[in-house]
Every structure is written in structure tokens, then in C-alpha cells.
């Protein structure tokens, strides 16, 4: 399989496994969507790590496969490509990308689907589609400017240049830079800590933030208000407040 889902201690690792560069061909895209939807459904998956291995995250699309496609073929395929990445972005659980080596084109767009990005010192990220006479087609023109702002996103998209980990951190494209050998360990630790948290409240927080970014503030506040009030019906809310009153903050054990 080109993508695998490995689950341990509440953390599901979506592992890209298409050597040597984890090129995202059609089969890989479809498998990614299938497993993202599985991670969404499974109750034993409470947080997710996206990982490409020690040497490379994903170097982008399979250019040889794309070269053979004409306009009609891509019209038929483009929606499925976006849907695969959107399935990752809509996993209603905390998702962290563990980025080593190249994360280019579709690889960078996949990292953008995560809630948090931890990069190795050897990471290089970018949207080089313009160098092929194209634009990003798996969400790059939409998710990148929402993350780092339109002018910085346009610089990366217009030039197609790669940025190293330190510049990616300065741009806000990644959230933490660590030694390359520690990327997965630290990403897994981030996910494992959240996997012990209140699952429904984390889902609510993610949906409220994401929905709010796509609408006006009044609508966003309505989403927040409805989730906030709704969480008062949960066992985790009762448990968390009781623990706070009896034991102090940060000691609650959630179901």
C-alpha cells in the first residue's frame, strides 16, 4: 500500500510509503482519502500524525503520470485530488504533520491540511507548480494564504522557490523546527498528549476555529456559542470541572 494507517495509544499515523520520494500519484491520493475517512470514523484514533518517513515527506505529484493526462482527464480528476486532501483537513481530531526532507507541491499542500506542523532541520517546502506552467491544485492557493497571508503566499506560488526550515518557521509555514531525527518522536508526543484530552471538546475547538476562518465574525461567534453551550451536556465537561474544583487545574482524566 502507498499509505498506511498505524494506530497505537490513541494516535493514528498516516504513513506515506511510496519510495523513493512519496510521489502522490492517483492511487496514493485515493488511498489517502480512504484512510483519512477511516481515521475520522475510528474511535480508537483520537489524534493523527501525517508522516513520510525519515528522509522525505512527499516530493509532490507524480509528474510522469500527470504528463500523460490531457485537459479532459484532469477535469475529471481535479475534484478527486482536492477531495483527498480535504478529507485530511476535515479529520475532526488534532492532526500534526511531521515533515522531513522535501515537502513540495502536493507534499506541501498535504502538510497545510494539518493543524500543526513540526519540521526537521533538513526540511524544504514549496509550491513549485509555476515552474511546470501550472498552479497548485490541491488547495495550495487557498490554504497557504490563509496560513501565512496573501503576499507571502503569492511570493512562494509565483516564484516556485523552496524555503528551508528556518525560513518556513519565520513565515509561519511550520510551527516548530527540530533535529531531523526527532521529527516523528516530537510529532507523536504532541498527538499523544492531545489524545488524552476531551475528544468532543477538541473536535468542537477545531470546528469552531476552522468554520470561523471561513465566515464573518458574527457567524463564527454563533458556531462557538453553540459548541460551548453544547459541551455542557458532556461527561468530560462534568469530569473536568469537578476535577478542577477538587484537585486544581490540569489533573482531569477524560473518558
- Which residues have a Cβ under 8 Å from the Cβ of 96 and sit 6 or more positions away? 47, 48, 49, 50, 114, 115, 116, 117, 118, 187, 190, 191
Q: Which residues carry out catalysis? A: 109, 129
The answer to whether residues 125 and 136 touch, using CB atoms and an 8 Å cutoff, is no
**Is the confidence at residue 61, as pLDDT, over 90?**
no
> What long-range pairs does 103-106 form, CB within 8 A, spacing at least 24?
103/52, 103/57, 103/58, 104/58, 104/59, 104/60, 104/128, 104/162, 105/59, 105/60, 105/61, 105/129, 105/136, 105/140, 106/24, 106/58, 106/60, 106/61, 106/138
The mean pLDDT of 113-135, rounded to a whole number, is 97
pLDDT, tens digit (0-9, with 9 covering 90-100), for 148-190? 999 999 999 999 999 999 999 999 999 999 999 999 999 999 9
The answer to whether residues 200 and 231 touch, using CB atoms and an 8 Å cutoff, is yes
The residues with which 14 forms a beta bridge, in sequence order, are 5, 50
pTM of the model: 0.95
The mean pLDDT of 107-136, rounded to a whole number, is 98
Q: Per-residue confidence at 1, pLDDT binned at 50, 70, 90?
A: confident
* Whole-number pLDDT of residue 167: 98
The mean pLDDT of 119-143, rounded to a whole number, is 97
253: left (phi over 0), alpha (psi -120 to 50) or beta: beta
* Mean pLDDT computed over every residue of the chain: 96
∠ CA 212-218-219 to the nearest 5 degrees? 50
| Alpha helix stretches (DSSP H) within the chain | 26-41, 63-67, 71-89, 106-112, 140-148, 150-159, 165-171, 183-195, 199-213, 217-230, 235-247
Q: Per-residue confidence at 105, pLDDT binned at 50, 70, 90?
A: very high
* Whole-number pLDDT of residue 194: 97
* Whole-number pLDDT of residue 144: 98
Residues belonging to the chain: 255
**Is the confidence at residue 32, as pLDDT, over 90?**
yes
In b/e form, how buried is each residue of 48-83, taking b as 16+ CB within 10 angstroms? bbbbbbeebbbbbbbeeebeeeeeeeeeeeeeebbe
Q: Per-residue confidence at 73, pLDDT binned at 50, 70, 90?
A: very high
Amino acid at each position: 500500500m502507498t499509505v498506511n494507517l498505524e494506530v497505537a495509544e490513541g494516535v493514528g499515523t498516516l504513513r506515506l510509503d511510496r519510495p523513493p520520494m512519496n510521489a502522490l500519484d492517483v492511487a496514493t491520493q485515493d488511498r489517502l482519502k480512504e484512510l483519512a475517512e477511516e481515521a475520522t470514523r475510528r474511535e480508537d484514533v483520537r489524534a493523527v500524525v501525517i508522516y513520510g518517513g525519515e528522509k522525505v515527506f512527499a516530493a509532490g505529484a507524480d509528474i510522469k503520470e500527470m504528463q500523460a493526462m490531457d485537459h479532459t482527464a484532469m477535469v475529471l480528476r481535479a475534484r478527486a485530488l482536492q477531495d483527498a486532501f480535504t478529507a485530511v483537513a476535515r479529520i475532526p481530531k488534532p492532526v500534526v504533520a511531521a515533515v522531513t526532507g522535501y515537502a513540495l507541491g502536493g507534499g506541501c499542500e498535504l502538510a497545510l491540511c494539518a493543524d500543526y506542523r513540526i519540521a526537521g532541520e533538513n526540511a524544504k517546502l514549496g509550491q513549485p507548480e509555476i515552474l511546470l506552467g501550472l498552479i497548485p491544485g490541491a488547495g495550495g492557493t487557498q490554504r497557504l494564504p490563509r496560513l501565512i497571508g496573501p503576499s507571502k503566499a503569492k511570493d512562494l506560488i509565483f516564484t516556485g522557490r523552496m524555503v528551508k526550515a528556518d525560513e518556513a518557521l519565520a513565515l509561519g509555514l511550520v510551527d516548530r523546527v527540530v533535529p531531523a531525527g526527532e521529527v516523528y518522536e516530537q510529532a507523536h508526543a504532541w498527538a499523544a498528549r492531545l489524545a488524552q484530552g476531551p475528544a468532543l471538546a477538541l473536535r468542537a475547538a477545531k470546528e469552531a476555529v476552522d468554520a470561523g476562518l471561513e465566515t464573518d465574525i458574527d457567524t463564527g461567534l454563533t458556531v462557538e456559542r453553540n459548541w460551548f453551550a453544547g459541551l455542557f451536556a458532556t461527561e468530560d465537561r462534568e469530569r473536568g470541572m469537578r476535577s478542577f474544583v477538587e484537585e486544581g487545574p490540569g489533573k482531569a482524566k477524560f473518558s
